[in-house]
Structure 1
Amino acid sequence: MKSSALSLFSLISVAVLLHHAAPSIASLEETCKQLAKENNNVDYNFCLTSLQAFDGAPSASPKELAVIAVKLTQANATAALSKIERLLNGSTLDPTARFSINYCLGLYTETKVALSNVIEGLASGKDKSFLVMQIDTAASKPQNCDDLLYEGANDYLMNPEDDDCSDLATIAHDLIVKFF
């Protein structure tokens, strides 16, 4: 009797765990679908693969996904700053490209400050308008870098980083607007 009761308990425990795990995964997928449906600038596959890469995302609530998206944007901006510093220190850029990359250094520095403000604001319960203003700054600065480099025919230097940072910030923006 004890064995069958233990087996029944184990079976129920597994069923409960599966019941709670499945909606979480579906929640991430549904959240990305919803964001992509509501905003043409959000790509479903990019949203899903980017957020899934973060440990804990499949079981995260939409509010937690917003924090994850901000942290992913911050990691991307940090990597972009490292690339900018490598370009400035180690390559033979023409004067126009050097000026543009140096300007991008400032833009990404502003992006990181804005993202830090968002993370602190989320943790301390700042109002939504503050969070949206900061995340909008984080989304626009990399695109300004991309535009500047494109005008100088140097967009290849930072294009993937600029696009990814802007796209991640857009996902974070939409999550903040929708769930905070």
Structure 2
Amino acid sequence: MTVFTPPRSPLVDDALELARRWCAGHTIDGAPALRHAVEVAITLDRYVPGTPAEIIAAALLHDAPELAVDVDLDQVLTDRFGPSTTRVVRALEREHAALGQTPAPPVDAGDVVTLAASTADKIVSLGSVLRRASFAGDRAAYWRARRPFLDLVSYFRAFHTAAHQALPDEMAAALDRLVTDAEQIRATLA
């Protein structure tokens, strides 16, 4: 069972419909954007069972600031899902925008809801990039083409270090494994 197994919350249904619309024609991590959104929501629910529907909605719509450019996003999110959804979506937007900047964006370990949603996004994204590497014919070329990803590995480790105590143990361990794998790959390419 997942958060999408019927019967599901009307908020989740509404968020899924918006995600379908806004993700259409877009890709994230080399896959359809909707798949990424759904995987983030499922991952969040797997590690944080009972996550409120408005936070599952935020997980589904976390890339909306980049995808839904023709709407008053704050108005739509707040009216349809409530202020918590808007807060989490905008927090993840700020983090995405700050990735790769020096110094790395600070991690607010006190905002556990946003922290968990952000961690789910990282687990899905890191897992996707690492999994695709295993299918690459020329792994060295695959990683050379993903230098910007490898440049973020230090941030992912800093995020894990700052966040792990506030996260469920299994979620923190999953992120740690993925970051460790990425660190090992980066070390072999240095």
TM-score by length of 2: 0.32
Structure having the larger proportion of residues in helix: 1
Q: State the structure with more CA Rg.
A: 1
Which one has more relative contact order, counting CA pairs under 8 Å at least 6 apart?
1
